[in-house]
Copies of this chain bind each other. A is one copy, B any other.
């Protein structure tokens, strides 16, 4: 097996180089305002991960204009929307050109019918009320709105590795403290290591008490779906410590075994958890933009004030409703016919995941995920993940994501996305086989 650690890792440092250019820019440009740069923004390291990956993709395309690039990076859906979904949106848009069908502002919290359909479609028998469901333009946007809700005076924990928006939004709101360069960590954030050694579930006995625990299952990037027992431990831990769990279930529909699809399947969760989720991966709505957040009535701050009241205020002030066209599409996804059609796409991507998993496992690599999530997570012991990323891109023209982009716990790993047309997945498998054998 190849080891990549001897290669240079300069790519990751490129964003820092712009600072030198900026100094000369200041000299050249004359007027500076007297407004101080936000110290939180200064603390952010590099650019946001996915635009950084795109930058590498662009550079690669310039270097190899004739190469047939396969993008298994960002994790973007590729398959057409079922026509049962698009025809609902078309009907709605057509209505907008008529006196009877025109609609302006909807409720900031989402249209009533959609809130009800989400409560019934995803939380059947789980006692989630429509008014606890807040429709949004996506889970990533909701993460930042939740940070606005919480403010700078709370301490957070994240799985390590994890989706980078949790940490980056925490830095922006001012919770994170200084960046400790040699540890690749922020001082005030609690990193809960998740690796094959602990079955990708944090050691809660050694986890410090925090206010808010971000937890993603099925996990992005590791692909691990937490078991019922693990999630019960998490809920019990949060209750004991007085913490709030922000549970990200954006990949819940990719679960194939009996792992919980919602934190609210766990007894006691309504007193300790918020759930964020999305139509992006469930229904191929990455560009349509639709998501939701559930805040249960029973979730209370230390003074007894309901969190849901403040979240409602945030949604009314900092947001103005998801596009009513996207909401019409979302409603169609939750009709019996729509739900079935959308699930066939999920099955398709999961078959892709199976192909990629088998390919890499057959090469003797240590592969995780792929069974309950559209990501496979590959371990390269002793190698730097940015080097693995660069070498794979250079030699196979396949975009992946370096694991360290998801936190220090992702070092030595890369994430490979199963989103793509089948022929690309097969072609990628052939190239990976040829590269690694």
Contacts and interface: CB of A to CB of B under 8 A. Distances in A.
Interface in A193-252: 211-212, 238-239, 241-244
A302 interface: yes
Given A94-B90, A301-B33, A303-B37, A288 B323 contact: yes
Given A90-B90, A286-B104, A38 B74 contact: no
A318 B96 contact: no
A125 to B, nearest CB: 22
A415 to B, nearest CB: 16
A298 B29 contact: yes
A301 B90 contact: no
A interface, how many residues as a size bin? Answer: 35 or more
A306 interface: yes
A266 interface: no
Interface in A34-91: 34-41, 44, 47-48, 50-51, 74, 76-83, 85-86, 89-90
> How many copies of this protein are present in the complex?
2
B141 A319 contact: yes
Contact of A244 (B33, B81, B169, B306): B33
Given A301-B36, A318-B144, A104 B242 contact: no
A148 B153 contact: no
Contact of A174 (B37, B151, B165, B320): B151
Interface stretch (A18-26, A184-192, A254-262): A18-26
Nearest to A419: B104
Contact of A310 (B37, B77, B286): B37
B151 A39 contact: yes
A437 interface: no
Given A74-B105, A81-B97, A287-B321, A34 B211 contact: yes
A306 B96 contact: no
A317 B286 contact: no
A168 interface: yes
A30 interface: yes
Contact of A106 (B239, B243, B287, B303): B287
B172 A316 contact: no
A263 interface: no
A43 B138 CA distance: 28
Contacts of A299: 33
B153 A36 contact: yes
A32 B105 contact: no
Given A26-B300, A299-B33, A313 B48 contact: yes
B152 A174 contact: yes
A417 to B, nearest CB: 11
Contact of A104 (B23, B37, B76, B151): B76
B32 A302 contact: yes
Contact of A93 (B93, B154, B174, B211): B93
Nearest to A241: B34
A35 B173 contact: no
Contacts of A303: 26, 32, 36-37
A304 interface: yes
Nearest to A327: B287
Contacts of A302: 32-37
A33 to B, nearest CB: 5
A435 interface: no
A264 B402 CA distance: 42
A73 B44 CA distance: 42
Given A32-B304, A85-B97, 12 more contacts: A26-B303, A26-B305, A35-B244, A37-B302, A38-B151, A47-B316, A81-B97, A96-B288, A137-B323, A148-B172, A289-B320, A289-B323
**What are the 7 closest A-B residue pairs judged by CB atoms, nearest first?**
A26-B304, A34-B242, A38-B151, A144-B318, A76-B104, A37-B301, A287-B324
5 contacts: A36-B211, A86-B93, A105-B286, A287-B323, A289-B321
